[in-house]
Structure 1
Amino acid sequence: MLFVIIGHDGPDGAALRPKVRPAHLENLRPLVSAGKVKIAGPFTDGSGSLIIVDMENEAEAIAFANSDPYTTSGVFARVEVKPFRQVFPEVA
Structure 2
Amino acid sequence: MPWFALIARDRPDGLEHRKQHRPAHLEHMARLDAAGRLRYGGPLVSEQGDMKGSLIVLEADDLEAARRAYAEDPYIVHGLFESFDIVETKPIFPRGN
Corresponding position of 1:16: 17
Question: Which of 58, 70, 83 is equivalent to 1:53?
Answer: 58
Q: Is the 8 A contact 1:66 1:72 kept in 2?
A: yes
Q: Give the whole-Å Cα distance in 2 for the aligned partners of 1:64 and 1:79.
A: 14
What amino acid sits opposite 1:88 in the alignment? Answer: F
Deviation above 3 Å: which 4+ runs of structure 1? none
Q: How many positions carry a matched residue from both structures?
A: 92
Q: CA RMSD in A?
A: 1.3
Q: Give the whole-Å Cα distance in 2 for the aligned partners of 1:39 and 1:89.
A: 13
Corresponding position of 1:37: 38
Q: Alpha carbons of 1:65 and 1:79: their partners in 2 closer, same or farther (altered >3 Å)?
A: farther
Corresponding position of 1:90: 95
What amino acid sits opposite 2:55 in the alignment? Answer: L
Task: State the TM-score, normalized to the length of structure 1.
Answer: 0.90
Corresponding position of 1:72: 77
**Matched-pair identity in %:** 33
- Deviation of 1:66 after TM superposition, in Å, equals 2.3
Task: Give ranges in structure 2 of 5+ residues lacking alignment.
Answer: none
